[in-house]
Amino acid sequence: MTDKRLLYRVILKLMAAAGIIALLMVFLNATFNSGGDIDEVSPVISSEVVYLKLANVEEGKVTTVIWENKRVGVIKRSSQTQLGLMQQSSKAPEASIIDLESHPWRSIDATYFVYYDKGDSGYCPLFFERENFKDTCSGIRYDLTGRQDGGTKTLGVPPYHFSNTGELAVGRWTADY
């Protein structure tokens, strides 16, 4: 009789341990997975456009907006950084993801950098410190063009354009509807 009791006790403890481990895995997965994947940046026009007044964006500070349930960061580069980028290329790129990826600025305007506020590993937000972004999970650092320091990884860039009224419109490459 005691052997059966001992066997049932061991089975019950193993089932409880397996349940706790499965629950912890679900919690960890939910912690680092905040929603949809933003690696696919599509030039398809979205019905939702988010506007941000550029007067509210301070130099050297990240301003975030939410577009299609994704955090989009906007930072105004310092005049010294802008000058360095202008020396690399004085011509602005075309408003498309293909041109931005190959251009030294990685933005339509050398003054601002617009990017998805998501690191390379597990949807972790980025932390901005001085002239670098740091992925809070992996520790990877990106410069103010969104390129990894000494690597090939880059931060994603959403579709955006600058309006004539001094606003940044996130969600479209052009002002045409």
pLDDT in tens, 39-59: 444 444 445 888 888 888 888
- List all residues 6 or more positions away from 74 whose beta carbon is below 8 Å from its beta carbon: 52, 57, 62, 63, 64, 65, 112, 113, 114, 168
Confidence of residue 175 (pLDDT cuts 50, 70, 90): low
Query: What predicted TM-score, i.e. pTM, was given to this entire model?
Result: 0.68
> Rounded to the nearest 5 degrees, what angle is found at the Cα of 92, between the Cα atoms of 158 and 97?
25
> Coil, helix or strand for 176?
coil
More confident residue, 39 or 28: 28
Q: What is the pLDDT of residue 129?
A: 81
Pick the CATH number of 50-170 from 1.10.287.1080, 2.102.10.10, 3.50.50.60, 2.30.30.30: 2.102.10.10
How far, in Å, CA of 110 to CA of 79, rounded? Answer: 9
Mean pLDDT of 150-158: 79
How far, in Å, CA of 177 to CA of 172, rounded? Answer: 9
